[in-house]
């Protein structure tokens, strides 16, 4: 063994030969700028953002993904005006109502990450119902709601501590994403190059892609291009 500590397990940070992406996450940014460019209210940008989500979920079949994780509302987005927060929550209500039947038909398994239990009681009830109705789905659509990566890690560390073991593996086992495949690719739209508190732990060895497209303009073809880009990358995980 010499000076080498035991190698960390390959599952967490990828195997030697990486197949295609299993888990892609997207920071869906740019709804406001999309609307501003057209002199429309931000709420219209958010509506078009929901349409982009629907289009993507419909178009993702055949791309080989096991999980798509979408950042829909951050724990910092409460700082926006009451009107904008109301708009976003109402869009959430409408989206679940209108698209749940399609998720069930298309074998989509819904998952929610973040502190969603502290959202409005009617939204929590809708989400619980949607989770139950899609529990047997095949491919996962994970939606980050009232999500903050630092808080997720803190919650997971507290749970790990309560179980008596504060190691990276023990913390990881308590993350909201503990039942999802490792994150392969993290995409942010709208040209901003930052994580904004999204999947901080999970991004440790994810590939990143920042694209200028504003979220309402994002189409399944853009995701396919991102996956093609991902396939050309060499992941090293610190080894050679
Ligand atoms: C992303 O679009 C949607 C949410 C954060 C909920 P933005 O509303 O952040 O759009 P920009 O960044 O102002 O263009
Ligand atoms: C990140 O976008 C949150 C979501 C996409 C839900 P923001 O627009 O809130 O992030 P900042 O404020 O530009 O960092
Ligand atoms: Mg933004």
- What is the CATH classification number for the domain harbouring 89? 3.40.1180.10
Cβ within 8 Å of residue 19, ≥6 positions away: none
pLDDT at residue number 16? 44
Query: Is 184 within 8 Å of 207 (Cβ atoms)?
Result: yes
Burial of 238 (0-12, 13-18, 19+ CB in 10 A): exposed
Residue with the nearest Cα to atom 10 of ligand 2? 196
Domain count, the chain: 1
pLDDT at residue number 46? 98
User: How far does Cα 2 stand from its chain's mean position?
Assistant: 41
What is the distance between the alpha carbons of residues 125 and 96, in angstroms, rounded to a whole number?
Answer: 11
Give the tens place of pLDDT for each residue, 104-142.
999 999 999 999 999 999 999 999 999 999 999 999 999
Question: In testing the pocket of ligand 1, which one of 35, 44, 70, 190 has its CB within 8 Å of the most ligand atoms?
Answer: 190
pLDDT at residue number 13? 55
Nearest to 66 by CA among 205, 180, 158, 168: 180
The mean pLDDT of 202-212, rounded to a whole number, is 98
Q: Is residue 9 one of the residues assigned to a domain?
A: no
pLDDT at residue number 6? 58
Give the tens place of pLDDT for each residue, 12-60.
555 445 579 999 999 999 999 999 999 999 999 999 999 999 999 999 9
What is the distance between the alpha carbons of residues 57 and 214, in angstroms, rounded to a whole number?
Answer: 17
Q: Is residue 58 one of the residues assigned to a domain?
A: yes
Query: Is 182 within 8 Å of 23 (Cβ atoms)?
Result: yes
Name the token pair of 49: 């953002």
Q: Is residue 48 one of the residues assigned to a domain?
A: yes
Q: Is residue 240 one of the residues assigned to a domain?
A: no
Q: Is residue 238 one of the residues assigned to a domain?
A: no
Percent of the chain whose pLDDT exceeds 90: 92
pLDDT band at 80 (very low <50, low <70, confident <90, very high): very high
Q: Is residue 152 one of the residues assigned to a domain?
A: yes
Q: Is residue 139 one of the residues assigned to a domain?
A: yes
- Looking at the DSSP assignment, which residues form a beta bridge with residue 111? 142
Report how far ligand 1's centroid is from the alpha carbon of 175 (Å): 25
Name the token pair of 160: 């790990």
Instruction: Spell out which residues line ligand 2, taking CB within 6 angstroms.
Output: 27-29, 71-74, 77, 192, 194, 196
Q: Is 77 a catalytic residue?
A: yes
Please say whether the dihedral angle defined by the alpha carbons of residues 58, 59, 61 and 64, taken in this order, is positive or negative: negative
> Which of the residues 3, 31, 61, 77 is marked catalytic?
77
pLDDT at residue number 19? 76
163 has a pLDDT exceeding 70: yes
The minimum-distance atom of ligand 1 relative to the CA of 46 is: 3
Q: Is residue 7 one of the residues assigned to a domain?
A: no
Query: Is 238 within 8 Å of 204 (Cβ atoms)?
Result: no
3 has a pLDDT exceeding 80: no
Query: Is 201 within 8 Å of 35 (Cβ atoms)?
Result: no
pLDDT at residue number 10? 43
92 has a pLDDT exceeding 60: yes
Residue 94 structural domain: 30-231
* DSSP classification of residue 210: E
pLDDT at residue number 18? 57
Q: Which of 1-5, 108-112, 197-201, 219-223 has the least mean pLDDT?
A: 1-5
The minimum-distance atom of ligand 2 relative to the CA of 147 is: 6
Q: Which of 10-14, 52-56, 143-147, 158-162 has the least mean pLDDT?
A: 10-14
């Amino acid at each position: 063994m010499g000076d080498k500590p035991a190698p960390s397990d390959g599952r967490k940070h990828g195997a030697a030969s990486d197949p295609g992406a299993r888990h892609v996450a997207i920071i869906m940014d740019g709804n406001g700028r999309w609307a501003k460019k057209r002199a429309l209210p931000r709420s219209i940008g958010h509506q078009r953002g929901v349409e982009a989500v629907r289009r993507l979920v419909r178009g993702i079949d055949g791309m080989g993904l096991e999980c798509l994780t979408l950042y829909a509302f951050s724990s910092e987005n409460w700082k926006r005006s009451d009107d904008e927060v109301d708009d976003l929550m109402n869009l959430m209500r409408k989206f679940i109502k209108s698209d749940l039947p399609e998720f069930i038909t298309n074998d989509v398994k819904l998952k929610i990450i973040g502190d969603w239990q502290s959202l409005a009681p009617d939204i929590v009830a809708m989400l619980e119902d949607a989770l139950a109705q899609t529990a047997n789905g095949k491919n996962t659509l994970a939606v980050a709601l009232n999500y903050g990566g630092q808080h997720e890690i803190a919650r997971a560390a507290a749970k790990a501590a309560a179980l008596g073991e504060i190691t990276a593996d023990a913390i990881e086992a308590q993350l909201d994403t503990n039942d999802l495949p490792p994150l392969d690719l993290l995409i942010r739209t709208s040209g901003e190059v930052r994580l904004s508190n999204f999947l901080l732990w999970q991004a440790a060895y994810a590939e990143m892609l920042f694209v200028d497209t504003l979220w309402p303009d994002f189409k399944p073809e853009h995701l396919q291009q991102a996956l093609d880009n991902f396939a050309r990358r060499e992941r090293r995980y610190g080894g050679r």
